Chain A
């Protein structure tokens, strides 16, 4: 099913080997992920699908360095995540990963500009630099005129665009998106997806996106389906490009 022979030999960014994630202990132990192997190359755009409880969110948490595998190895760009403590993984998130969430997860009562600046604050970027880069990122998502607005004053689509600006303002090597269109109507969803595709094709940003909507998954280059903690299918789509 995997069609890799036609691809140029790409560099792997994400390598999961024999990864299990087990919650609870003893009799109550539940394996959310059961010994999976997965490799994602640099510049790829992967949609992760599956019903709830299939392990797709767990996979995303591990890939996003929010969680660690119970067993097995995960290496991101050659770094073995299993050996890192919480603070070291926080540093990796700070410098290498951008996040987009279903619920947008912007700071309430905080302007769009300040929300976008937040990751730069933790990178100890100077105030002027921060303003400049955040404005540029907001301009990129088409919200240059709304930088003073708080999330409550923005529509859902606009909020998600602010969240995207926040994720890309640091120029991460990996973008992790958790149901980015889950709270949006079809039109807004397609807007967001087109934007992600552009980031992937123009900037070569590697994107891992969890979704349960096949329409949205169709925008990705590769679709991985999970069921009961295993990878059920892994399909590379050809010539699917932004409309």
Chain B
């Protein structure tokens, strides 16, 4: 009985090919849109999270001034000192590495090539905290950290701009008026989540930076590693109370520095992309709903057209429930076919879009199954009204219908 209803449904679809295609199309678009949106959304979330964790492991960042709020106003505050760094290193047990940094825009020159870039003065710990590998040459030694000699490690972009395909190791570049020997090149980190090129920089030892470039021993930003991801929050509050004490802030005063926790940032960004995904999926789901209304519309037309057939079936002994089942199965077959095609198109579209948008393709079997089940449900829901109309027909009236 079910089997023959299925056969009848397929035959009915074949009978009016163009109409069937148009009906199915609504569901195809709806399911494809939902699957593509959810798949791309998960891909984007994965990309953002991995981008952020590429900034460094268990990283905390201390910056001076108040935290930029909605208005973007930040009040300048005293820079951090070498003594602050020593205190952070010795007094907080949950911190494993501390990298003080200072930076300045400067012109890097190799022969006749100029490149405006960001010069960062820091210590060897910077590479540890930011989880950054020196791909060519070497990093600084701790003796070089303290000696004040002008050495530098180039970011991948800076190296490419200044040296092209040549090896820069052992060559000298000029930073401002200072000559500086290149001892290493960093591996590429690519673009940050916020779109800036993380590889466009030159790193020099902090001491040398203070003496030869900045001319003052200020530390603007401190990068720290917590001993594990579990203690970042604890480390953060320890840092705040230590720095408040060292900077002699009265109890009522606000912090004149702020600590950012990478885990927090990750969570915020994940939540944001999650909301975006949900929002886009909801819009896509609306198109699935519209597809369902298309099915209902065509089923109503079909029921009217086939009034006589319904009359014949009723006369020879079909009950209302037999007719109801027949039309429901037709609706579900239409929507399920749409669901399968939509699934394929949605996944294909997601693969293409993922490539174009440079996000990873994440296959979510749960969503695919859900979209298919949902499309069948749309068939049942929107098929029910026309099917019930068919089932309630009076056989005498239906037989007389021309």
The answer to whether B1 touches A94 (Cβ under 8 A) is: no
Q: Check: A118 CB closer than 8 A to any chain B CB.
A: yes
Q: Are B15 and A94 neighbours in the complex by a CB distance under 8 Å?
A: no
Partner of A101, one of B314, B319, B399: B399
Q: How far apart are the CA atoms of A109 and B306 in the complex, in Å? A: 12
Do the beta carbons of A105 and B319 come within 8 Å of each other? Answer: no
A66's contact among B308, B309, B315, by CB below 8 Å, is which? Answer: B315
Partner of A90 from the list B308, B309, B314 (CB cut-off 8 Å) is B314
Contact at B396–A61, with CB atoms within 8 Å?
yes
- Does B69 sit at the interface, judged by CB under 8 A? no
Contact A118 B313 (CB under 8 A): yes
Which residue on B lies nearest to A90, using beta carbons?
B319
Instruction: Say yes or no for A7: interface residue by CB 8 A criterion.
Output: no
Quote the shortest CB–CB distance from B12 to chain A (angstroms).
10
Q: B395 an interface residue at 8 Å Cβ cutoff?
A: yes
Whole-angstrom distance from the CB of B1 to the nearest CB of chain A? 6
Within 8 A of A (CB), among B307-348: 308-309, 311-322
User: Which of the residues B15, B313, B317, B399 comes within 8 Å of A95, measured between beta carbons?
Assistant: B317
Contact for B312 among A90, A105, A124, CB less than 8 A: A105
| Count of chain A to chain B residue pairs whose CB atoms are closer than 8 Å in the complex | 56
1/0 per residue, CB under 8 A from A, across B1-33: the answer is 100100000000001000000000000000000
Interface string of A58-86 (1 = CB under 8 A from B): 00010010110000000000000000001
Q: Is the beta-carbon distance between A121 and B4 smaller than 8 angstroms?
A: yes
Known A105-B308, A107-B312; contact A93-B317, beta-carbon cutoff 8 A: yes
Whether A93 and B316, one on each chain, are in contact in the complex, defined by CB atoms closer than 8 angstroms, is yes
Residues of B contacting A221 with CB < 8 Å? none
Within 8 A of B (CB), among A100-114: 101, 105-109
Q: Is A87 an interface residue (CB 8 A)?
A: yes
Question: Which A residues touch B309, using CB under 8 A?
Answer: 107-108
Q: Given contacts A87-B321, A107-B309, A109-B15, are A122 and B399 in contact (CB under 8 A)?
A: no
A166 within 8 A of B: yes
Contact between chains at A90 and B318 (CB < 8 Å): yes
Known: A61-B396, A105-B308, A121-B4. Is A99-B319 also a contact (CB below 8 A)? Answer: no
- Inter-subunit contact B395/A94 (CB<8 Å): no
A87–B315 CB distance below 8 A? no
Measured between beta carbons, the chain A residues less than 8 angstroms from B4 are 121
Q: Smallest CB–CB gap between B304 and chain A, Å?
A: 15
Contact assessment for B322 and A122 in the assembled complex, using a CB-CB cutoff below 8 Å: yes
**Cα–Cα distance between A90 and B314 once the two chains are bound (Å):** 7
In Å, the complex CA distance between A18 and B126 comes to 105
Q: Does the CB pair A87–B317 fall under 8 Å?
A: no
Cβ–Cβ < 8 Å partners of B395 in chain A: 66
Q: Would A99 and B316 be within 8 Å (CB), given that A67-B396, A87-B321, A107-B309 are in contact?
A: yes
Chain A residues with CB below 8 A from B321, complex form: 87
What's the least CB distance linking B323 to chain A, in Å? 10
Contact B399 A94 (CB under 8 A): no
Indicate if the CB atoms of B396 and A66 lie closer than 8 Å.
yes
CA distance A108 to B16 in the complex (A): 14
The listed residue (B311, B316, B396) touching A122 by CB distance below 8 A is: B316
Q: Is A132 an interface residue (CB 8 A)?
A: no
Residues in B with CB closer than 8 Å to A91 are 317, 319
B residues apposed to A, CB below 8 Å: 1, 4, 15, 308-309, 311-322, 395-396, 399
- 24 of the cross-chain contacts (CB-CB < 8 Å) are A64-B315, A66-B395, A66-B396, A67-B396, A87-B319, A90-B314, A90-B317, A90-B320, A91-B317, A93-B316, A93-B317, A95-B317, A97-B317, A99-B316, A105-B308, A105-B315, A108-B309, A109-B15, A118-B313, A119-B316, A121-B4, A122-B318, A124-B1, A166-B316
Closest A-B pairs by Cβ, 8 of them: A94-B317, A90-B319, A93-B317, A119-B316, A87-B319, A122-B317, A105-B312, A66-B395
